[in-house]
Amino acid sequence: MQQVTVYSTKNCPYCRMAKAFLDKNNVPYATIDVGEDAEAAKKMVALSGQRGVPVITVNDEVIIGFDSQRLNALFGNAEISQQCDVLIVGAGPAGLTAGVYCARKMLKTVMISENIGGQALESWAIENYMGYRMVTGEDLMKKFEEQARSLNIRLELDGVEVITREQDSFTIKTATGATHSATSIILAQGNHPNNLGVSGAEKYLGRGLSICSTCDGPLYRGKRVAVVGGGNSALQTAVEMSGIAASVSLIVRTSIRADEVYLDLLKSKPSITIHMPAQISALQGDGFLTGITLRDEKSTEQTLQIDGLFVEIGWQPNTRMVKDLVTLNERGEVAIDINCHTSVPGIFAAGDVTSVRGKQIIIAAGEGAKAALEAHDYVMRNRRPDS
Q: What residue type is 281 in one-letter code?
A: S
User: What is the SS3 assignment for 365?
Assistant: helix
Task: Order the strands of the 55-58 sheet from edge to edge.
Answer: 30-33, 4-8, 55-58, 61-64
Taking the chain, what is the end-to-end CA distance rounded to the nearest angstrom?
A: 44
CA-angle at 195, arms to 222 and 177, nearest 5°: 105
- 241-245 long-range Cβ contacts below 8 angstroms, 24+ apart: 241/213, 241/217, 241/310, 242/269, 242/271, 242/272, 244/217, 244/218, 244/220, 245/220, 245/221, 245/308
Pairing verdict, β 308-311 and 279-286: unpaired
Give me the residues paired with residue 171 across strands.
Answer: 164, 181
CA distance 80 to 349: 24
Q: Identify whether the C-beta of residue 364 lies closer than 8 Å to the C-beta of residue 350.
A: yes
Catalytic site residue from 15, 215, 307, 352: 215
User: What is the SS3 assignment for 4?
Assistant: strand
**Which residues fall within 8 angstroms of residue 152, CB to CB, at 6 or more apart?**
103, 108, 109
Task: Order the strands of the 279-286 sheet from edge to edge.
Answer: 279-286, 288-295, 301-305
Is residue 15 part of the annotated active site? The answer reads no
Q: Identify whether the C-beta of residue 155 lies closer than 8 Å to the C-beta of residue 149.
A: yes
Is residue 340 part of the annotated active site? The answer reads no
Catalytic site residue from 158, 216, 307, 352: 216
Pairing verdict, β 55-58 and 61-64: antiparallel
Phi first, then psi, for residue 304 (nearest 5°) are -105, 130
**Beta-carbon neighbour count of residue 90 at 10 Å?**
31
Is residue 12 part of the annotated active site? The answer reads no
Catalytic site residue from 212, 307, 340, 352: 212
Chain CA centroid to CA 137, Å: 11
**Which residues fall within 8 angstroms of residue 67, CB to CB, at 6 or more apart?**
56
Q: Identify whether the C-beta of residue 134 lies closer than 8 Å to the C-beta of residue 116.
A: no
List active site positions.
Answer: 212, 215-216
